Chains A and B, each alone.
Chain A
Amino acid sequence: MSELIPTLSDSEIAAINREISHVPYRSAVAIDALKIVQEHRGWVSDESLRAIARHLEMSAEELEGVATFYNLIFRRPVGERVILLCNSVTCWIKGCDRIQKALTERLGVGLGETTADNAFTLLPVTCLGACDRAPVMMVGDDLQQDLTEDNLEQALFGEGRSD
């Protein structure tokens, strides 16, 4: 029975319920709930999606419509850290295509792919709001700025945000 009914963990439920406490109906927290589960599990599987939908008293199909609308809800597994490489106009002027090429050479993956060791998933992202330091990307939670082919190694494997 437990395999047939997908479940959320106690901490996931607690976090989702905190969001529900200040909205008029449960499905209003659909995006928050998807993000909470993604935070815990890395991505949102079909089973997770069904479990969230049941908890929010909405259909899985409706929740899928929400999940696939947003760029940063992952409906497929991603690596331990997601690289969000900005490809909007200022980063393009400043050579983000070169950075993308260097990332692909270094990591052996193209856009939308995850490295064999599961360390990184490489994704494009819209303007990151750091155009004065272009080209930029996020590696996990950290913003990495003024990227060149030469400082990519530090951006990928160093600690913290670049300043």
Chain B
Amino acid sequence: MTDELTRPLTRNVHPDRRPTDMDAYEANGGYRALKDTLGKRSPADCLQIIKDSNLRGRGGAGFPTGLKWSFVPMDDAASGPKYLICNADEMEPGTFKDRLLLECDPHQLIEGMILSAYTLQADVAYIFIRSEYLLAARLLREAIAACHARGYLGKDILGTDFSLEMHVHASAGRYICGEETALISSLEGKRANPRAKPPFPQVSGLWGRPTIVNNVETLCNIHHILERGAEWFQSLGIGEDAGTKLYGVSGRVKNPGCWELPIGTTVREILEVHAGGMEDGYALRGFLPGGGSTDFLTPEHLDLAMDYGTIGKAGSRMGTGTMIILDDKTCPIGFIHNLTKFFAQESCGFCTPCRDGLPWSAQVLEGLELGDGRPEDLDTLAYQIDYIGAIGNTHCALAPGAMEPVQSALKYFREDFEAHIAQGRCTYGHDHADGGAH
């Protein structure tokens, strides 16, 4: 099969990362799915295709997209506006996949969003994008204007009775906005505190109306699936999951980057073939499979398939699919101290275990990293992992996510913790003056 068929999401991504404009996008088959769908297929038919495709959310949780959409009321009881929101608030540490899609092919996202909104019969769509993605936000605004000019957005799209407005909302910087109910609070102009569920956003979201929030990569798949069908999409995956996945690798590897590959590609292929293996002089100790809130895996897991089920069974999560590599010259305690500080800073402050627990964990880890730790600190950490890490003790998943790399570091790298305590120093040579860099 050609790239167009096997790598649908990145077929318009050029090595120099120049953006694909409206003309180039249409010349390569863009907006064909839109024209073949609006007024020609019912929203219910479209939803069935997405359900059949087995597409799962690419933002990290992996929830089946069609199932999520099926909770949106479609009958007359749903009179009044419904909303579709694209979560482009990419801030998970080590994650750099949505930036690629946004900067290189903005029309792909917009076509996906128009067709998603048509399926859901949504009236208004928002792209919630992080503040620092300035280039992407500008390209999206230009692309939206180009769509209005061609009648792909606005009133009575392509002569049908379907209308859609689309807005870009640039955030003001806060990781918790990536949590879908916090994102909705933020879009309403408030502090981004997550909300209790139920009610779920599908029923009561933005301004109390039915709302769907999906990740950039998820939405970019939609028009390809509607155009080529559920079976085609399923055929792209290697294992039990369907489609392709943007996988990334960062850290001390020869060729850090982001590639679209069949979902279910092995960790070894991603790391050794695409990322070129470890940098000379560095060996692999472990890796976070999909961002800063996933559990460590180790070299014994290299032959696992990167899909939701396989990585889950190994005790971690595929998350965003962008791996962070821990090499043998980087202190694992420093690594998780950095992550825990990040999560402590980005806690919204709403619930006590997260607001007060994460800074406490960061403080214990700092002591351990710098060689000031005591054996009982490991018991304190274990207590924090049990308490903060338990879903149900906290208001949302931020703090339990933060504990994932900590608990797995204690499991796999315990000898490092013990050596730091026994020797009273960082065994990797980090000290107060040099805080971590080698």
Contacts and interface: CB of A to CB of B under 8 A. Distances in A.
Given A72-B131, A129-B99, A66 B256 contact: no
Interface string B80-120: 00000000001111111011000000000000000000000
A29 B189 contact: yes
Name the interface size band of chain A: 35 or more
Interface in B249-271: 249-252, 256-258
B124 interface: yes
Contact of A84 (B132, B135, B257): B132
Contacts of A69: 174, 191-192, 348
B5 to A, nearest CB: 26
A107 interface: no
Interface in A45-102: 65-66, 69-73, 84, 87-90, 92-98
Contacts of A70: 171-174, 192
Nearest to A65: B191
Interface stretch (B34-42, B218-226, B335-343): B335-343
Contacts of A119: none
Given A66-B189, A132-B250, 8 more contacts: A22-B124, A28-B187, A69-B192, A70-B174, A125-B132, A129-B90, A129-B96, A134-B250
B248 A131 contact: yes
Contacts of B257: 132
Contact of A88 (B132, B342, B437): B342
B289 interface: no
A131 B322 contact: yes
A67 B289 CA distance: 34
B256 A95 contact: no
17 contacts: A70-B171, A71-B173, A72-B173, A89-B292, A89-B335, A92-B338, A93-B326, A97-B435, A126-B91, A126-B93, A129-B130, A130-B99, A131-B324, A132-B96, A132-B258, A133-B256, A138-B132
- Tell me which of A34, A125, A126, A163 has the highest count of chain B C-beta atoms within 10 A of its own C-beta: A126
Interface string B425-438: 00000000011111
Nearest to A142: B134
A127 B95 contact: yes
Given A70-B173, A126-B175, A134-B250, A90 B207 contact: no
A96 B248 CA distance: 20
B170 interface: yes
Interface of B: 16-17, 90-96, 98-99, 124, 130-135, 165, 167, 169-175, 186-192, 207, 248-252, 256-258, 292, 322, 324-327, 330, 334-335, 338-339, 342, 345-346, 348, 434-438
A106 to B, nearest CB: 17
A153 interface: no
Given A69-B174, A92-B437, A127 B94 contact: yes
Contacts of A125: 132, 173
A94 B438 CA distance: 8
A35 B172 contact: yes
A72 B134 contact: no
B261 to A, nearest CB: 15
Contacts of B175: 126
A131 B342 contact: no
Contact of A93 (B165, B169, B330, B342): B330
A29 B326 CA distance: 42
A131 B290 CA distance: 13
B94 A90 contact: yes
A35 B189 CA distance: 12
A141 B133 CA distance: 9
Contact of B191 (A34, A66, A128, A161): A66
Contacts of A66: 189-191
Contacts of A133: 256
B342 A132 contact: no
A31 interface: yes
Contact of B250 (A96, A98, A131): A131
Contact of A89 (B94, B167, B435): B94
B98 A90 contact: no
Contacts of B171: 31, 70
Contact of B96 (A27, A73, A93, A130): A130
